[in-house]
Structure 1
Amino acid sequence: MNWGHKITITFILFAALIITMVVISFQQEVHLVAPDYYEEELAYQDQIDKMQNYHDLVQKPSLSLVNQEIVLIFPPDMVVSQGQVHFYRPSHSGLDKSVEIHLDSNNQQRFAQSDFHKGLWKAKLSWKGGEKEFFVENSIVL
């Protein structure tokens, strides 16, 4: 086999490698942060206002791990008319969960840790209290 054949074989193998990589890359799922990313970006000033309202609070709600449960605790004097906790999984959007806030008599809500896969979660907490809306994002590692 002479050097001309070797160069031809090398180019053919390189082309096959490139074609294989293109086929594999087209078969990969792409998990976007949000399907309506651009619309959310345009409304981001509202989000900034909600985060500022949260930072202005004297007593803030907390989210923590207690005895195999994720516990959301609001201060006793805080009124929550409506709200939502969005558990966001950065590595796989198919695992995301949204839960309405329904506080018990102790101003708490509990979530079973067994309902979540292990790893990093971001809890996006948004609620309305009185005339103001609030938003905070916490990271949780299970």
Structure 2
Amino acid sequence: MNWGTKIVMSFILFVGLIVTMVTISMRQDVSLVAKDYYVQEIAYQDQIERIKNYRDLGENQIKLEYKKQTSQIVLTLPKSYAGKGEIHFFRPSDASLDARYVLRPDSEGYQRFEAGDFKKGLWKVKISWHENDREYYEEKTLVI
């Protein structure tokens, strides 16, 4: 095989590689973190206020734990909690796995979720509520 044939073969292989890479990249799911991302970005100052309100709670902050032995996710709210809110389990890698629940702690301030309902991996848990005319927001990372 002479050098001209080698150049042509190299060019054909290069073009084949580029076509393969373009095909693979076109089949990838490209989804934004949220469908209304730009609207949320504009209203972020309100979110900063919610986060500040949460941090001002001091010792009454919430806790989130994954208990492997009981296969449960336990959210601990202050016993004095009397507001209304929601918890959003956000899966960064797949938005179709996201789940939202209403905050309904028991008399001790615990709310339990079955870990089997969630796929293993990284989750962002977004907790928001309002109480006494104030809004609160906290975001925690959870690995199942």
In the alignment, what sits opposite 1:75? Answer: 78
Cα distance, 1:60 vs structure 2? 1.2
**In the alignment, structure 1 residue 64 sits paired with structure 2 residue 65:** yes
TM-score (norm 1): 0.92
Per-residue CA deviations over 1:37-78 (Å, capped at 9, x if unaligned) read 111111111110000000000311221224321111211122
Per-residue CA deviations over 1:24-49 (Å, capped at 9, x if unaligned) read 10001123211221111111111100
Q: Distance in 2 between matches of 1:18 and 1:88?
A: 35
Cα distance, 1:132 vs structure 2? 0.4
In the alignment, what sits opposite 1:39? Answer: 39
In the alignment, what sits opposite 1:17? Answer: 17
Farther-moved stretch of structure 1 (98-107 vs 53-62): 98-107
Q: Distance in 2 between matches of 1:65 and 1:12?
A: 53
Secondary structure at the counterpart of residue 4 of structure 1: helix
Farther-moved stretch of structure 1 (12-21 vs 69-78): 69-78
Cα distance, 1:85 vs structure 2? 0.5
- Flag structure 1 segments of 5+ consecutive residues without an equivalent: none
Q: Distance in 1 between matches of 2:102 and 2:41?
A: 23
- Flag structure 2 segments of 5+ consecutive residues without an equivalent: none
In the alignment, what sits opposite 1:105? Answer: 107
Aligned residues: 141
Secondary structure at the counterpart of residue 110 of structure 1: strand
Per-residue CA deviations over 1:83-104 (Å, capped at 9, x if unaligned) read 1111111222221111111222
- Which amino acid in the other structure matches residue 84 of structure 1? E
Per-residue CA deviations over 1:8-29 (Å, capped at 9, x if unaligned) read 1211110111011001100011
| RMSD over aligned Cα atoms | 1.3
Q: Distance in 2 between matches of 1:103 and 1:46?
A: 26
TM-score (norm 2): 0.91
Identity percentage of aligned residues: 48
